[in-house]
Amino acid sequence: MRAIAVGAFRADPALVEIPKPEPEAGEVRVRIEYAALNPTDWQTAQGAPDDGPAPRVFPVVIGVDFAGRVDMIGSGENRFRVGDQVFGRVARPNATGCGTYCDYVSVPQDSAITVVPPGLPLRAAAALPSAGMTAAQILETSVVRGHESLLVIGAAGGVGSYLTQLASARDIRVIAAVRGPEHGRMTELGAAVTLDLTDRPLEAAVRERCPDGVDALVDLVSTDPDAFAAHAALVRPGGIALTTRGIAAEAALPADVTGIDFRLEPTPVLLDVLAAGAAEGVLRVPIDIELPLEKAPQALDRNRTGGARGKTVIVL
């Protein structure tokens, strides 16, 4: 089968032919029709993903998000049938290099995989798992309740586009910090305020809008603990500062602000909730770019340099 893979960390991802995986007991094999790009994909190719340990077996097939049809069932109990339309996110256990930028993937039937509901195109389903579950789980775990303010730094990308929608649907006042003229798009997604950081520095813009500080910060971009700490200083006493980049523990945060190092724990239930919202049209799936498998290496390069406006979907 075709796959985009690396033979060593920091090698350039390339199109290769590898054997089709056979489903083991309790697994389903999925004929992938769409995969979606996440920063963890190029981070994994570099050997340092934000969201967990790097795989240890090469070649490493890039990608975690997928949508397609079940084409084979492993032995034993299974909640899926051949032909089911499914989507999900593969776990990246240390020992395997399995990914989703490829024609087939085998996944445990009890992992983060679920049936695509009627009315949701596979293409849209593929764009939900990592970014959608991250946004939903950030809201679940970060004690941001209604009528509060949430500052999202990096709000124009995959996670930010879902988080803005899900938070504003809960009456949370989203302050979307972006780079570029994204006011119209972020307002449509539910942002109460959009701050273009190419216009003026974040600190001054936030202080002007929220003189007493924001209730919560979700920083999707800072990799420098000092930058994260400076952003956390915009949070009111008793509030929270969450990062998806694994740097909260190293940051000198204000004593009265709770730091959270977020790490996604994917579940099929979260997938079901997101898929239902997308099928009903209450959750918009922000697909920015669609391209064929062989263009995936260039798309990974592009994402690494920034500029994401929603999701990139790869067609198998």
Ligand X SMILES: NC(=O)c1ccc[n+]([C@@H]2O[C@H](COP(=O)([O-])OP(=O)(O)OC[C@H]3O[C@@H](n4cnc5c(N)ncnc54)[C@H](OP(=O)(O)O)[C@@H]3O)[C@@H](O)[C@H]2O)c1
Segment interacting with ligand X (CB under 6 A) among 6-14, 24-32, 33-41, 85-93: 33-41
Is residue 177 involved in binding ligand X (CB under 6 A)? Answer: yes
Buried b / exposed e over 250-281, threshold 16 CB at 10 Å, is ebebbeebbbbebebebbbebbebbbebbbee
Binding of residue 264 to ligand X (CB under 6 A):
yes
Residue nearest to ligand X (CB): 157
- Residue 13: name the closest of 67, 68, 69, 58 by CA: 58
Nearer to ligand X, 97 or 160 (CB): 160
Per-residue binding string, ligand X, 178-207, x by CB under 6 A, is xxx----------------x----------
Q: Are 113 and 79 in contact (CB under 8 A)?
A: no
C-alpha to C-alpha distances, 117 to 46, 122, 220, 284, nearest whole angstrom:
35, 10, 30, 15
Nearest to 286 by CA among 259, 268, 309: 309
Shortest Å, Cβ 180 to ligand X: 6
The label of the residue with tokens 């952003």 reads 231
Which part of the chain contacts ligand X (CB under 6 A), choosing from 4-12, 74-82, 234-242, 257-265?
Answer: 257-265
In the list 132, 154, 213, 297, the residue contacting ligand X (rule: CB under 6 A) is: 154
The first and second tokens of residue 242, run together, are: 């969450």
Q: Is 304 in the site for ligand X (CB under 6 A)?
A: no
CB of 40 to ligand X, least distance (A): 5
The C-alpha angle with vertex 299 and arms to 293 and 282, in degrees rounded to 5, equals: 90
Contacts of ligand X in 104-143 (CB under 6 A): 130-131, 134
Q: Rounded to whole angstroms, what are the CA distances from 313 to 34, 80, 310?
A: 7, 25, 10
Interaction between residue 36 and ligand X (CB under 6 A): no
Residues that bind ligand X (CB under 6 A): 38-40, 43, 50-51, 130-131, 134, 153-154, 156-160, 177-180, 197, 220-221, 244-245, 262-264, 303, 306-308
